[in-house]
A and B are shown apart, each in its own frame.
Chain A
Amino acid sequence: MSATTGNAATPVNSASGTAAVLDVRSISMNFGGLRALNEVDLQVRLGEIVALIGPNGAGKTTFFNCITGIYVPTEGTVHVTPRDGRTVTVNGLKASQVTELGMSRTFQNIRLFPTMSVLENVMIGRHCRTRAGILGALLRDSRTRAEEQRIVEESYALLKSVNLHQHYKDQARNLPYGAQRRLEIARALATDPFLLCLDEPAAGMNPQETHELKELVIEIRERHQLSVLLIEHDMSMVMSLSDRIYVMEYGSKIAEGTPEEVSKNPRVIKAYLGEESHA
């Protein structure tokens, strides 16, 4: 946590020696007078599942928006190290460029393309990995047709992996809630991410669905060889899934560590008990 004393532009490698695929240094975000993020540091290493927890309004979603290019953080730096090994500074890039680098996300308040079909939603995710342009669309030459068919097949395979392939023709808005969340994950995976950011994926799911989601996240990590950054309120899911946990309150990081360390941390207990006694 004292890493900020060093040269902030050089990405750190963690103590364990594995490269950090995401290295966030001391980012802050102000909305007018409101400081939604206050000098937050966070690292995700290759293959890790990292959880970001904290009471509502702690600034978790704002953190996601800052690292994925939806917002430009007021201060601080965000570095990522895609699969090709080079390290790139992300803040200042457009959201689409961040995704193209290999960071992909889902949204807390589901943002599918509601009147497009389930398959088309996933196909949109392949956009940044394919090339066909206007001329290809107009002439529909064999290369364009082949690419289009490849997009269809890859997207369908992803739908299958989240068990939504029977619904590929339906409009996305007609899916049940839990299925919409899984579709968002499939769509995010279609961009070939090395880091998948999930914003409260289990919100609104029943215990059975939550359990399946947990299995799905583990499976995805294995199959796609990626890291996961997860915002979640369901504590059983967070505790059993995460390698490490970061805890935020009022825009600041108040704790980090393994699930055991964090669950014993007095500040975390206070933050959570405090929240419960209000509720």
Chain B
Amino acid sequence: MQGLKKSILVSLWFMFLTFPLMVIRIDSLNGTIDWRWENMLGMGAGSFVLSFVWRFMMARKEAGRAAAAGGVMSARGAWFERLRSDPKAAVPALAVILAVFLVLPWLVSTYQTNIMISALLYVMLGLGLNIVVGLSGQLVLGYVAFYAVGAYSYAILNSNFGLGFWSVLPIGGAMAALFGILLGFPVLRLRGDYLAIVTLGFGEIIRLVLENWSDFSQGPSGIANIDRPGLFGTQLSVSDATTYIYYLILAAVIVTIVAVTRLKNSRIGRAWQALREDEIACQAMGIDITTTKLTAFALGACWAGFAGVIFAAKTTFINPASFTFLESAMVLAMVVLGGMGSVIGVSVGALVLILLPEYLRAFSEYRMLIFGATMVLMMVFRPQGLVSPGRTKYNVPDAEGAGAAAARPAAGGNA
């Protein structure tokens, strides 16, 4: 009953709000006003129903939280957890996913493959940023700067010194890591929103330098004719090269997933998480927060550097316009949407955020609207992101530790 009254109020409010937009139309030809009352009715009915759905979802969310507090897992959560923790289910699932990704370029057009390549690049970026934001809890907004460092490392070394892709890949990563440490030092004492603002500024500085220092980076016109990655010196056609790069980035993503998962379950990864949870307690437990923060910055940046090199090799042309703040925000959105700290979550988040707008093109001008609405709804109903980080399994000494014996590998792989 209470709900009914609320929904009526909501729908009245929406009818009032949208009244000028939906109802009145000025017919400038005849100089008359069209009163489109039927639109108002539609609006009222629509918002009435949606308000019910909204409240239902809210109630479910509350119930879910209560259940979680009581240690009961919702049915939906349960199968996912089983899939994740039971190797008998997880291995085939992973194999199927891998198989799909492996055959993909043979099933779809070069255009689609290109979209997949950029989606996978973003997976890599998201996983890198996940180290900094998700694991160590340092809110960094200028992440795209490290991506730019990697991309420009390859572009400049390639066009000026003729260095190839494979030799620059580690250099690009190392350069980005170096920049990560350079940024890390001055911001060691900053936290939260202050850190966000300073790192945002850092990202813009890198972009402005690239834009204005023409002798070095050729300014806004960018660097063209960058070599594609070589395959034992053979010349590949454009579509073959695309397929090649697809497999290359796929391999890079797999390496990244393994590396980030291992880092997360290591001594260093635990220190990052402790830093995220409580900086004072972290110090008091003997963890040097300076080195811990700097390793997080360096490793997070390093992955952006790798991704940057691959990006430059893929597009064969880069300019500063590819490295705007919007890109940083996008990568951060992937981490938050996917679930901070969760490797699976961030990967899925990146794929969704890149592929969704792409395949929503059918909705033309509404696609960004749908995209925005999806983000808002996600944040309301699942603020922790799509996937919450998995628990590491430990092999504790006694068997009475509730089924712990099943977890054979010491710090077993989860994501």
Which residues in window 302-335 of B have CB below 8 A to A? Answer: none
Residue among B283, B289, B402 with the most chain A CB within 10 A? B283
Give the nearest-CB partner of A132 in chain B: B267
With contacts A96-B287, A137-B267, A138-B262 taken as known, whether A124 is within 8 angstroms of B274 at the C-beta atoms is: yes
Question: Do A168 and B263 touch (CB < 8 A)?
Answer: no
With contacts A99-B286, A128-B287 taken as known, whether A134 is within 8 angstroms of B281 at the C-beta atoms is: no
Q: Name the contact of A119 in the complex, choosing from B271, B295, B396 (C-beta under 8 A).
A: B396
Question: Do A145 and B410 touch (CB < 8 A)?
Answer: yes
Instruction: Write the nearest CB–CB distance from A240 to chain B, whole angstroms.
Output: 28
Question: Do A124 and B287 touch (CB < 8 A)?
Answer: yes
Interface range, B side: 35 or more
Q: Does A157 contact B (CB under 8 A)?
A: yes
Instruction: Write the nearest CB–CB distance from B110 to chain A, whole angstroms.
Output: 34
Q: Does B299 contact A (CB under 8 A)?
A: yes
Q: Name the contact of B397 in the complex, choosing from A145, A147, A156 (C-beta under 8 A).
A: A156
* Complex alpha-carbon distance, A140 and B263, angstroms: 9
Proximity string of chain B (238-274) to chain A, C-beta cutoff 8 Å, 1 when within and 0 when not = 0000000000000000000001001100111111011
Provide the residues of chain A in CB contact with B411, threshold 8 Å.
Answer: 148, 152
Segment among B157-165, B216-224, B387-395 that sits at the interface with chain A: B387-395
Question: Do A116 and B274 touch (CB < 8 A)?
Answer: yes
Question: Do A165 and B401 touch (CB < 8 A)?
Answer: yes
Q: Name the contact of B394 in the complex, choosing from A69, A119, A130, A188 (C-beta under 8 A).
A: A119
Provide the residues of chain A in CB contact with B259, threshold 8 Å.
Answer: 138
How many positions in chain A have a CB within 8 Å of any CB in the partner chain? Answer: 54
Question: Do B284 and A99 touch (CB < 8 A)?
Answer: yes
Question: Do A137 and B269 touch (CB < 8 A)?
Answer: yes
Segment among A23-31, A104-112, A216-224 that sits at the interface with chain B: A104-112
Instruction: Write the nearest CB–CB distance from B136 to chain A, whole angstroms.
Output: 13
Residue among B277, B289, B401 with the most chain A CB within 10 A? B277
Give the nearest-CB partner of B286 in chain A: A128
Q: Does A267 contact B (CB under 8 A)?
A: no
Residue among A69, A123, A188 with the most chain B CB within 10 A? A123
With contacts A70-B283, A137-B262 taken as known, whether A120 is within 8 angstroms of B392 at the C-beta atoms is: yes
Give the nearest-CB partner of A139 in chain B: B262
Provide the residues of chain B in CB contact with A133, threshold 8 Å.
Answer: 268
With contacts A127-B270, A165-B401 taken as known, whether A113 is within 8 angstroms of B277 at the C-beta atoms is: yes
Residue among A123, A128, A138, A168 with the most chain B CB within 10 A? A138
Provide the residues of chain A in CB contact with B400, threshold 8 Å.
Answer: 166
Question: Do A191 and B285 touch (CB < 8 A)?
Answer: yes
Instruction: Write the nearest CB–CB distance from A173 to chain B, whole angstroms.
Output: 10
Give the nearest-CB partner of B266 in chain A: A137
22 CB < 8 A contacts A-B: A70-B283, A96-B289, A99-B283, A100-B286, A104-B285, A113-B278, A124-B282, A125-B286, A128-B285, A134-B268, A134-B299, A137-B262, A140-B262, A144-B266, A148-B410, A149-B410, A152-B411, A156-B396, A157-B397, A165-B398, A166-B401, A166-B402
Q: List the 7 closest A-B pairs by CB distance, nearest first.
A: A128-B286, A137-B266, A99-B286, A113-B277, A111-B281, A95-B283, A96-B288
Please give the residue numbers on chain A whose beta carbons come within 8 Å of chain B beta carbons, in ascending order. 68-70, 94-97, 99-100, 104-105, 107, 111-117, 119-120, 123-125, 127-130, 132-134, 136-138, 140, 144-145, 147-149, 151-153, 156-157, 165-166, 168-169, 174, 187-188, 190-191
